[in-house]
Structures are given as structure tokens and as C-alpha cells.
Amino acid sequence: MSQFTRSLVWFRRDLRDYDHAALYQALSQSEQVYCVFVFDRAILDQLKQRADRRVEFIWHAVQELKQALQQHGGDLIVRYGDAKEEIVNLAKQLQVQAILSNRDYEPTAISRDQWVADALGSLGIAFEQFKDQVMFEQDEILSLQGKPYSVFTPYKNAVLKQLSDQQLLPYPVDDHWHKLAKITEPEIPSLESMGFTQSNLSELKMPLGMSGAQTLWQDFQHRMGLYAEQRNFPAVKGPSYLSVHLRFGTISVRQLARFALQQHNQGAQTWLNELIWRDFYFQILYHRPDLGSGKSFKAEFDRLPFPNREDWFQAWCQGNTGFPIIDAAMRQLNQTGYMHNRLRMVVASFLVKDLLIDWRWGERYFAENLIDFDLSANNGGWQWAASTGCDAQPWFRIFNPISQSEKFDADGKFIRKYVPELANCNHKEIHAPWLIPPLRRQEINLVIGKNYPAPVVEHSEQRALALALYKNATSVA
């Protein structure tokens, strides 16, 4: 006997038709299941860029999900409006007994969902939520004292004790497709009708939707064993490139973690570690929602008196700092919406500890430009680099941008791709072009300050200033 005659699955950051917790629960508990996705104006109206790669990525993923549900005998209802109101109105219109969705852990999403739950409750409609985008959530992993972890290694060890193939089994959605409501819905709203235009996503040849995620996943499975040794080098095909697919749920984290757990090599172990970091930051934000509105995890660093020079910040944003590895990384972000993970740490350290600019400025710039932007991971990463977060880089440890460049892009291949004005430099020169002797600069047609900027700061001087800034904050605290 089904629990519900009719139910509605609300898709959000889980844009796939397989191994999907809420979809499975709805199909197995209901006689008839409707599916909906809302292009939420509460989010979209705040976006600065009208050619936003994320909106376009979501649009393609929703299109593919709709086609998949049609092939299964149903369809996807797609709305454009305020998600809270659209969902409640649709529930009334379809006369469903329940709405089911996968849980979101961001503060604004939690308050949105609470509003929806209250509104549905007053109508006698159930609102059920499930764990889907993480391996462990909320209070599932706690210390022996019953408190959330704020240091990664003990958290990871606790996760690995509990993680098993059994716990990561997929939800068998395919057994229940006959329960989908037989409806025919109109085409999804165009990007233009929602006030957006196409970005350069098609030029980037990024694999999109569920099918694109599987293409990337198949490719990465063969490379996973090398992940530990290759992941830090931006010119090497080391990462999985699945971060945006994990962000929007076009791939299942259970599928990825299960495979990694079954491999017995350093690469798979290191990659599984990265998935655990992702969970770790989710639970940090869940337990400390104030981090989402600019609070430092460590209170003593909440009001560091950063000088915040606007011209230096603009140089950083545009990839014109005069430090080639920093400029290449920022230009990669601006041109593609992606940045290699090692470089995210390097440019964040440079902004905060060389340019002495508040980490929140950098966090906001990443939030506007990263295609895989995720509040918890972005906040966690920036606070790690700024030494204000949980289990962060100690404040007295400061990356040297030149040695990072020499170590992780030794032959300058990545730099040459994004800073073509340095293409004629040799492997040694390319990391600090301002040190090249004048005659050699003339030979390679490099005019520092004209066709490539002079360094905006001197690293050793800024390092000393940063140490004093942090030391003063700790002594005051």
C-alpha cells in the first residue's frame, strides 16, 4: 500500500535520474509521482553577470533531465519564479499529499525550506527531505564528546571507520519508473526569457549534464591511480574535473566514493580524501551558519585590519599582478570559470598575505566567477588560506608565489597558456620575469611595465607586514 496517492519531487542541486534519494523515496512510496525544477529568481536576480556559465550549465542539465524523464514515461515541470511560492502553488494545483526533496545545508536554503515546510504544513501537505549530496551529513559524524569536528584528520578517521560499500549503495530508481505521472509539459524557459545570455561554455567544450558527467568519470577512473602524484600540477591532466558536476548533482557522490573505496592505491585514497574534505566543509557550515555571512571561524581574526588597496585587488582580479603563476591562475578563472585546486590556494594566500586584502573580497570574487562555486567549500578554502578557519594553514606559513610556481609549473607550460606575453621566456626565467637581465629582455621583446606588468609588491616585504598584522591580532586576543 503506497503512503501517498500523489507526490512531487523537487529537484535542486541533484540534476540526474539515477541513484537519487528523494526520487527513489517518492517512487517507492507513491502511486503517482510528479517532478519539478524551479529556476529560482531569489538566486538568479542576484547574479551580476548575465552571461553566467552556471546558469547555462544548469539549463543544459535540466534539459537533459527533462528528456530522460520523458523517456521513462513522465516529464519534468519547469518553472521560473520565486521557488518558495512556485512549489507551494504547484503542490496545491496538483493536489499532492507530499513534496520530497534532497537536503541542502546552506543557511539560505535551510530557511527557504523551512518556509516551504511551514506553508505546506498549514495545507496538510507533508515535506520530506533526504540525504543525497554528501556521504555523511549534519550530526552523523561527531566526536566522542558528541560535538562536531573542527579538525579534518580526526573527522576523516571517523568517516573512514563508518564508510562502507553497503552504506554507499545506489538507490534503485529504475525499478519504479511506471509510477511517474503521465504528463506532457512545455519546453523549458530559454536563457533569454530569464534575462540571461549564452556564455562561452560551448567554446570551452565542457561535458554537460548527466551524460557529460559520466564521460568525465569514465576518463578519470583510468587516471585515479595517478591522482596523488599528478593533482598538484596545473599543466597536467591530474584532477577529475567533476567538481561542477558534484556541485549540481549531475553525478552521484555515492557512485564516486564507492569506486574509490574499492581501489587499493594511493591515488584513490587521496581522491577519497578530497570527497571527505567536501563533506567536512558541509558539516562545518551546517553547524556554523554564521560563516556564510562573513564571520571568521576563529573569532580573534574576525576584524583583522587589512589595508585593502583597491588597485591591488583589481590587479589580482584581472591577472595583472606581475607574478606569472598568480596571473595565469586568475586568467584561467576569468576565461573558463575554473581554477586548478593547487592554484586556488596559491592565489588566495597571495591576495591575503602578499596584497593584505581581506579574504572576504577574494571569497566574493570566486563566488561570482567559479562555475563550481559551492558556499561551504569556497568559504572553507578561503578561511584555510587566510588562517582564519578551522584546521587552517597556520598564520605564519605563507606561500612564496615564485617557489610555488617553480615547484608546480616548473617548465612554465601552464603560465605560457594563460600569459602568452611570456611565451619566449625560458623555463627558468618565466617564474620571475622582472629579474631577467635587460639585454635578454630586449631579445625576447619583453618590456616590464609595458607588455607585462611589474610586480605590484615585493614578497619578502609583504610577508613581514602580514606576520606583524596576524601577530598583533593574536596578542590582542
Residue 27 identity (one-letter amino acid): L
473 to each of 298, 370, 417, how far by Cα in Å? 11, 31, 40
Which pLDDT band holds residue 105 (cuts at 50, 70, 90)? very high
Judgement on whether residues 230 and 331 belong to the same structural domain of the protein: no
> What is residue 328's predicted lDDT score, i.e. its pLDDT?
98
Q: Is 209 left (phi over 0), alpha (psi -120 to 50) or beta?
A: left
Judgement on whether residues 309 and 335 belong to the same structural domain of the protein: yes
Dist. CA 57–CA 75, nearest whole Å = 20
Contact 358, 308 (CB under 8 A): yes
Judgement on whether residues 392 and 382 belong to the same structural domain of the protein: yes
Dist. CA 326–CA 334, nearest whole Å = 12
> How many other C-beta atoms lie within 10 A of the C-beta of residue 5?
12
Q: What is the mean pLDDT of residues 78-104?
A: 98
> What is residue 1's predicted lDDT score, i.e. its pLDDT?
60
Is the model's pLDDT at 134 over the cut of 70? yes
Q: What is the mean pLDDT of residues 151-178?
A: 95
Dist. CA 167–CA 172, nearest whole Å = 14
Residue 150 lies in a domain: yes
| Final residue of a structural domain among 265, 287, 309 | 287
Dist. CA 49–CA 477, nearest whole Å = 40
Judgement on whether residues 334 and 395 belong to the same structural domain of the protein: yes
| Final residue of a structural domain among 244, 262, 287 | 287
- CATH classification at residue 436: 1.10.579.10
Cell of 172: 534503485
Residue 53 lies in a domain: yes
Cell of 95: 493536489
Residue range(s) defining the domain that contains residue 128 = 4-132
Q: What is the pTM of this model?
A: 0.96
Q: Is 147 left (phi over 0), alpha (psi -120 to 50) or beta?
A: beta
Is the model's pLDDT at 477 over the cut of 70? no
Judgement on whether residues 126 and 220 belong to the same structural domain of the protein: no
- CATH classification at residue 238: 1.25.40.80
| DSSP annotation of 184 | -
Is the model's pLDDT at 475 over the cut of 90? no
Judgement on whether residues 358 and 455 belong to the same structural domain of the protein: yes
Number of structural domains, the chain?
3
| Final residue of a structural domain among 132, 156, 177 | 132
Judgement on whether residues 275 and 251 belong to the same structural domain of the protein: yes
Residue 157 identity (one-letter amino acid): N
Is the model's pLDDT at 237 over the cut of 90? yes
What dihedral do alpha carbons 462, 465, 469, 472 form, nearest 10°? Answer: 160
Residue 142 backbone dihedrals phi, psi, to 5 degrees = -125, 160
Nearest to 163 by CA among 262, 231, 44: 262
- CATH classification at residue 67: 3.40.50.620
Judgement on whether residues 45 and 139 belong to the same structural domain of the protein: no
Judgement on whether residues 164 and 266 belong to the same structural domain of the protein: yes
Angle between the N-to-C axes of helices 152-162 and 266-287, in degrees from 0 to 180, rounded to the nearest 10: 110
